[in-house]
Amino acid sequence: MGNAQSPPANPRFASAIRAFTPHELDDLKQFFVSLAAQSQSKGDYVSSSVFQAYFGLNGPSGERLFDLVTQKRKDDKLTFEDLVIAKSIYEKGTKDEIEEFIYQLLDITDDGILGRSDLESVLIAILKSVFLPKVNGDGSSSCQDVADVFLKAATFSKDVQGASEKSMTFEDFRCWCGLLPSVRKFLGSLLIPSDAGRPGSQVPQLLHGENIDPNMILLRKEYAWHIGGALSHQELEEWKLLYHSAVNGLSFNTFLGSVSNGEGPTVLIVKDKEDCIYGGYASQPWDRHGDFYGDMKSFLFQLYPKASIFKPTGANSNIQWCAANFSSENIPNGIGFGGRVNHFGLFLSASFDVGHSFTCTTFGSPSLSKNNRILPEVIECWGIVQKGVQQEKQDAMKGTVLERFKEDRHMLNMVGLANSSE
């Protein structure tokens, strides 16, 4: 197999090839030969332009990725050894190794300072890669506007000598990735072709009735992508609008009636009268209970003016709340997430005209609103369509019916009645 079979002179390459099976090395070699042929290099190397075009990441971010993969030689030549070494770290390495690679990738200017402008450049490149091919005049936010929302989740705590702005430390970066899993997922899969279902690129199809004005909807595609970063691939196909307060009215009973038909997870979104947008992902259906329920798949999120996701910390199991028609003050009627009774991470009262959001240990989240008291302006709820799960249930039911039919026919055969009509 050429380079992969000959004794490697580079000790880093010798170590890297041990991360791959012989079959994987063969595939990598064939892949390299294909790109090298496009580079017109007589099979010796892959050029930066061919590399960036294939992986679909152009501009400063694409150049920086190529620079890291070629070990900063600045010779515009990606060798087979470079490819194997990069993939062994970026795809086969430990979590720390992968995140260190991504952290260096974000330092676009390679000056050891990860500043706001570096993050902004990378975010805009990501958003263009994910959304520009899909935009059809549907009112999606500009990449710059969305990048600003994501940047507000970042912390820059490192002082830089001679600079007016602080830099992002590695721990700042890891915290930011935790708040923006969609960004982390995308940056962690850049050496997967953009047209091969790259993780972090999938955007759910948002379905709603013809009577809904798209301009009324809170859930923009960019927000759905952000929320989807914390979900599985199967949950990112279709989301269906189940309830919208401008159409269905601010009614708790109407809400429960609208969402009770769905058996899958839901995404609840609130816009308050101070123009903040936030909500929660409920992994379990909204069923009436007198206590907390749910599982650790649920989470809270912010969408505007700052985008963040807050997953369960494990501090307690106070995940979902859905109470109706209780007369006790200890069981407030309404829906909510996290925290404790009357001090929820997010809560909407059964009147749907007031609610609250407090700092919450369940999800490690701050108050999602500017003030703890919430005055809702718009409430909407989306059902996540899980086609694979639905098909499995249908197949299971079908199998059950067929098995029952076989059993019934077997009983009839035993008593000689199965063919009595023939």
| Res 419: pLDDT | 41
Chain-centre distance for alpha carbon 199: 9
Which DSSP letter does residue 75 get?
Answer: S
| CATH of range 11-188; options 3.30.950.10, 1.10.150.650, 1.10.238.10, 3.30.1370.10 | 1.10.238.10
Q: Provide the Cα torsion 381, 382, 384, 387; round to 10°.
A: 130
Tell me the helices (H) and strands (E) count for the chain, helix number first: 14, 12
Angle between helices 143-151 and 116-131 (to 10 degrees): 130
| pLDDT digits (tens), the chain, 422 positions | 445 555 556 899 999 999 999 999 999 999 999 999 999 999 999 999 999 999 888 889 899 999 999 999 999 999 999 999 999 999 999 999 999 999 999 999 898 899 999 999 999 989 988 887 654 444 345 789 999 999 999 999 999 888 888 999 999 999 999 999 999 999 999 988 777 678 899 999 999 998 899 999 999 999 999 999 999 999 999 999 999 999 999 999 999 999 987 678 999 999 999 999 999 999 999 999 999 999 999 999 999 999 999 999 999 999 999 999 999 989 999 999 999 999 999 999 999 999 999 999 999 999 999 999 999 999 999 999 987 654 454 454 455 544 544 544 443 343 343 443 33
| Per-residue confidence (pLDDT) for residue 164, from 0 to 100 | 81
**DSSP one-letter code for 9:** S
Q: Which of 22, 135, 9 is nearest to 79 (CA)?
A: 9
8 Å CB contact between 136 and 218: no
pLDDT recorded at residue 133: 61
Q: Which backbone phi and psi does 405 adopt, to 5 degrees?
A: -65, -40
Q: Residue 396's pLDDT is what?
A: 46
Q: How far apart are CA 229 and CA 204, in angstroms?
A: 11
Backbone angles phi, psi at 231, to 5 degrees: -115, 170
Beta-carbon neighbour count of residue 285 at 10 Å? 17
355-356 sheet: strands from edge to edge: 320-323, 334-340, 343-349, 355-356, 373-374
> What's the CA gap between 199 and 213, in Å, rounded?
31
The 3-state DSSP class for residue 90 equals helix
Which string of b and e fits 344-379 if b means at least 16 CB within 10 Å?
Answer: bbbbbbbebeebbbbebbbbbbbbbbeeeebebbbb
Q: d(Cα 37, Cα 47) in Å, to the nearest integer?
A: 10
Give the up-direction half-sphere exposure of residue 286: CA atoms within 13 A in the CB hemisphere: 30
Rounded (10°) CA dihedral 262, 268, 270, 276: -150
Cα-Cα-Cα-Cα dihedral sign, residues 384, 367, 306, 186: negative
Residue ranges of the chain that CATH labels 1.10.238.10: 11-188
Asked if residues 368 and 303 have their Cβ atoms less than 8 Å apart, the reply is: no
Going by C-alpha positions, the residue among 362, 419, 374, 364 that lies closest to residue 175 is 364
Whole-model pTM: value is 0.85
